[in-house]
Chain A
Amino acid sequence: MILLLRLAVRNARRNVVRTALTASTVALGTAVLTTALAWIGGVFGSIIETSANSVGHVRVVQPAYAAREDLFPLYENIANAREIVDTVSEIDGVTAAYPRIVSGVTVSAGDEIGEHFSLLYGADVAWFRERMDFDALMAAGTFFERPDDIVLGATIAERTGATVGGEVILLGQTQDGSISPLKGRVVGVVSAGTALMDQAAFVSLERMQYLADMDGGATEILVYAEHRDDAGELATRVAAEVGDLKAEAWSAREPWASLLSIVVVIRTTLAGFIVFITALGVWNTMMMSVMERTSEIGVLRAMGLTGRGTLFLFVSEALMIATLGGLLGVCIGGLGGAYLEIYGVSIGSDVTQNLSTDFPFQQTMYADMNLEVALTAFGLGMLMAVVGSALPSARAASIKPVEAMRTNR
């Protein structure tokens, strides 16, 4: 085994140009893969993290609300919201639970009323602070101070001409469908760079309950685990405690369930494509190597090298070269990933504001370069080498010694 490895090292050093070419191919593939994985992980990771935070790791609702939630059916509410919050808070693994109401309203700041549509979120102040990170997103003014305070998203504030300190009127409806107005003072403007936040308005739960004529009620109870990945198991435990209400993990709900599947497909397709292209390059140079050494392989086989040993010899050589190329590729790709993690790529507010509020796309999308990405890219670099060298190695292993020694190569 040691002898074969030493032989593999020697072979790799015999034709430096070819070895460099193979290593460069692997390096290029690994670099592209590293940057791409960091980018995909960063962009979708951000969307998923923000989504899971905004919709709750597990959500408890009336089943009829879930069935028609696009229409915000306020009448399908949980009348005893606080009781349900208390009940789920006792469940093992629950770190927090908040009642919430979301509904459509029109926002006006001037004399004209009802020109600008917005989603209105009514929730506990703790939810805005702890889950939506409002303190960090505040572009102007402060957070809720008084019961009639209203916080607006930056886009809706701009469209309505609302400013901090000014009054706005929200025109929504009660749970019975009756027109219901709400007047308040704008105390702050939040800017997150996403349609989800920037096109919305935010009030305390009590104000929202008044608007919806839903005293003590809420349409959703958002439940949080230590980590969003625990949502599936937690949903089962919560469902067992909430009777006829429906408890769903965020990852099982649309559109996020589809988004997760799409992310897996994108990652797999991209990785598979890069591995395939790079493997072709490795195959090419390794096949040249095998053909050049046919005579030598014949001698080694005549001296007792088995077919399996021949296979090992060439795969080892490919892996050694791939290790060099892979490390180089991870370094280069890592630099690209780090650059995108720091500076990001801006897709502009015009694009993000027109995207669905279900997916909180940031105006500037950042990569997430981490050790997992580097190890995955390096591992796939090794796979490129194994796949690329498989056929040439098999060909070498199948060479008959007598026929090989007859050739001039």
Chain B
Amino acid sequence: MIHTLAIVATLCLCATPALAQDPTAEEILAKIDGNMTFESRTSKTKMTVVNPRRTREFIMISFGRGEDHSAIEYTSPARDKGNKMLRKADEVWTYFPSVERTQKISGHMLRKGISGSDVSYEDMMSASDLRSAYKGKVIGKEEIEGRPAWKLELVATDDAVTYPKRTSWVDVATHIPVKQELYALSGMLIKTWEMKEIKEFEGGRHFPTKMIVSDKLQDGTYTTLEFLEMTFGVELEDEVFTLRWLERK
């Protein structure tokens, strides 16, 4: 009996420092949000859309302010040059210079891929602040591409989120969710979202410069987002996030 108690006590003593080092899911989500949310940002992005039939590349300039405002302008290919997209909170508009019309995206259209990609308008609208939308728990620690990562299971606390369940692998060193599996309420895997080539930016922020999104409801498709240029904390004019900017030539 004394022998058994001694073993349990030894195990507890050994385990206590480890538990103390493991962050909670809440703490990990806070660090992710610290990396992934920003006051303002501009970027030049190459989006490569791959499906079994063909591969297409788009170059776009994007502007972001807080969680509620983002704007995108396509610069290539020629067919899409000048197309613009604006998000203000839960509303999304696109502008097509070829027909000089602004189209509000709503209803089932929100679930469609932007430019036929694996990234939907709903993805674009999703708030990047995970803490306000999800509760979770750390369910393990695994290696992703040779680097240790916390494995988190997240369940939405907000019914309005696009993906009610997520499994995320968060890089221990940088706190970037390097791999995410996004599920429907039924448990069906809808998308996978990988974040790669993490770089450190001003202020110690880590941010991925490459993302690979794959819509699992379609066969053999994936979309790569490569951030060719990215600057955080830039001053952006208010006009950028207006319908007037959208329709400006």
Residues in chain B near residue A213, CB distance under 8 A: 79
Alpha-carbon distance between A171 and B99 when the two chains are bound, in angstroms: 10
B186 is an interface residue with CB less than 8 A from chain A: no
Check if A169 sits within 8 Å of B101, measured CB to CB.
yes
A-contact 0/1 string along B30-60, CB 8 Å cutoff: 0000000000000000000101011010000
Residues in chain A near residue B10, CB distance under 8 A: none
Q: Which of A114, A173, A178 contacts B103 (CB 8 A)?
A: A114
Chain A: residues with Cβ within 8 Å of the partner, total of 16
A177 is an interface residue with CB less than 8 A from chain B: yes
Q: Which of B53, B56, B102, B103 contacts A179 (CB 8 A)?
A: B103
Alpha-carbon distance between A173 and B116 when the two chains are bound, in angstroms: 9
Check if A181 sits within 8 Å of B116, measured CB to CB.
no
B51 to A, closest residue via Cβ: A176
Check if B94 sits within 8 Å of A75, measured CB to CB.
no
Alpha-carbon distance between A173 and B115 when the two chains are bound, in angstroms: 9
Residues in chain B near residue A291, CB distance under 8 A: none
Check if B103 sits within 8 Å of A171, measured CB to CB.
yes
Check if B96 sits within 8 Å of A177, measured CB to CB.
no
Q: Distance in Å from the Cβ of B98 to the closest Cβ of chain A?
A: 6
A111 to B, closest residue via Cβ: B101
Check if B103 sits within 8 Å of A75, measured CB to CB.
no
Alpha-carbon distance between A174 and B83 when the two chains are bound, in angstroms: 15
Chain B: residues with Cβ within 8 Å of the partner, total of 21
B141 is an interface residue with CB less than 8 A from chain A: no
Residues in chain A near residue B105, CB distance under 8 A: 179
Q: Which of A113, A176, A182, A183 contacts B116 (CB 8 A)?
A: A176
Check if A177 sits within 8 Å of B112, measured CB to CB.
yes
Q: Distance in Å from the Cβ of A173 to the closest Cβ of chain B?
A: 8
Residues in chain B near residue A181, CB distance under 8 A: 96, 98-99, 101, 103
Considering only residues 137-186 of chain A, those with a C-beta below 8 Å from chain B are 169, 171, 173-179, 181-183
Q: Which of B51, B94, B99, B102 contacts A183 (CB 8 A)?
A: B99
Residues in chain B near residue A182, CB distance under 8 A: 99
Check if A177 sits within 8 Å of B99, measured CB to CB.
no
Q: Distance in Å from the Cβ of B239 to the closest Cβ of chain A?
A: 22
Check if A75 sits within 8 Å of B79, measured CB to CB.
no
Check if B103 sits within 8 Å of A113, measured CB to CB.
yes
Check if B115 sits within 8 Å of A178, measured CB to CB.
yes
Alpha-carbon distance between A181 and B80 when the two chains are bound, in angstroms: 11
Check if A177 sits within 8 Å of B98, measured CB to CB.
no
Residues in chain A near residue B114, CB distance under 8 A: 178
Check if B51 sits within 8 Å of A75, measured CB to CB.
yes
Considering only residues 177-201 of chain A, those with a C-beta below 8 Å from chain B are 177-179, 181-183
Q: Distance in Å from the Cβ of B218 to the closest Cβ of chain A?
A: 9
Check if A177 sits within 8 Å of B101, measured CB to CB.
no
* Given A75-B53, A213-B79, A179:B94 Cβ within 8 A: yes
Residues in chain A near residue B109, CB distance under 8 A: 179
B80 to A, closest residue via Cβ: A178
A177 to B, closest residue via Cβ: B116
Q: Distance in Å from the Cβ of A113 to the closest Cβ of chain B?
A: 6
Check if A169 sits within 8 Å of B99, measured CB to CB.
yes
Alpha-carbon distance between A289 and B99 when the two chains are bound, in angstroms: 84
A179 to B, closest residue via Cβ: B94
Alpha-carbon distance between A120 and B7 when the two chains are bound, in angstroms: 77
Q: Distance in Å from the Cβ of A326 to the closest Cβ of chain B?
A: 61
A-contact 0/1 string along B109-127, CB 8 Å cutoff: 1001111100000000000
Residues in chain B near residue A176, CB distance under 8 A: 49, 51, 54, 56, 115-116
Alpha-carbon distance between A125 and B49 when the two chains are bound, in angstroms: 34
Residues in chain B near residue A177, CB distance under 8 A: 112-113, 116
Alpha-carbon distance between A179 and B98 when the two chains are bound, in angstroms: 13
Alpha-carbon distance between A182 and B79 when the two chains are bound, in angstroms: 12
Considering only residues 87-137 of chain A, those with a C-beta below 8 Å from chain B are 113-114
B79 to A, closest residue via Cβ: A213
Q: Distance in Å from the Cβ of A62 to the closest Cβ of chain B?
A: 11
* Given A114-B103, A171-B103, A178:B116 Cβ within 8 A: yes
Residues in chain A near residue B102, CB distance under 8 A: 113
Alpha-carbon distance between A114 and B116 when the two chains are bound, in angstroms: 19
A106 to B, closest residue via Cβ: B103
Check if B103 sits within 8 Å of A174, measured CB to CB.
no
Alpha-carbon distance between A169 and B100 when the two chains are bound, in angstroms: 10
Alpha-carbon distance between A182 and B105 when the two chains are bound, in angstroms: 17
Residues in chain A near residue B99, CB distance under 8 A: 169, 181-183
Residues in chain A near residue B116, CB distance under 8 A: 173-174, 176-178
Q: Which of A75, A113, A178 contacts B101 (CB 8 A)?
A: A113
Residues in chain B near residue A113, CB distance under 8 A: 101-103
Residues in chain B near residue A114, CB distance under 8 A: 103
Residues in chain A near residue B49, CB distance under 8 A: 176
B79, B101, B112: most-surrounded residue (chain A CB, <10 A): B101
Q: Distance in Å from the Cβ of A25 to the closest Cβ of chain B?
A: 62
B97 to A, closest residue via Cβ: A181
Q: Distance in Å from the Cβ of A172 to the closest Cβ of chain B?
A: 12
Alpha-carbon distance between A169 and B96 when the two chains are bound, in angstroms: 11
Alpha-carbon distance between A303 and B228 when the two chains are bound, in angstroms: 115
A173, A179, A182: most-surrounded residue (chain B CB, <10 A): A179
B-contact 0/1 string along A296-335, CB 8 Å cutoff: 0000000000000000000000000000000000000000
Residues in chain B near residue A171, CB distance under 8 A: 103
> Assuming A179-B96, A179-B112, what are 12 further A-B pairs, CB within 8 angstroms?
A75-B51, A113-B103, A114-B103, A169-B99, A169-B101, A176-B51, A176-B56, A176-B116, A178-B114, A179-B109, A181-B99, A183-B100
A interface residue numbers (CB < 8 A to B):
75, 113-114, 169, 171, 173-179, 181-183, 213
Ranked nearest first, the 6 interchain pairs of A and B with the lowest CB-CB distance are A176-B116, A178-B116, A183-B99, A177-B116, A181-B99, A178-B115
A-B contact pairs, 8 of them (CB 8 A): A171-B103, A176-B51, A177-B112, A178-B115, A178-B116, A179-B105, A181-B98, A183-B98
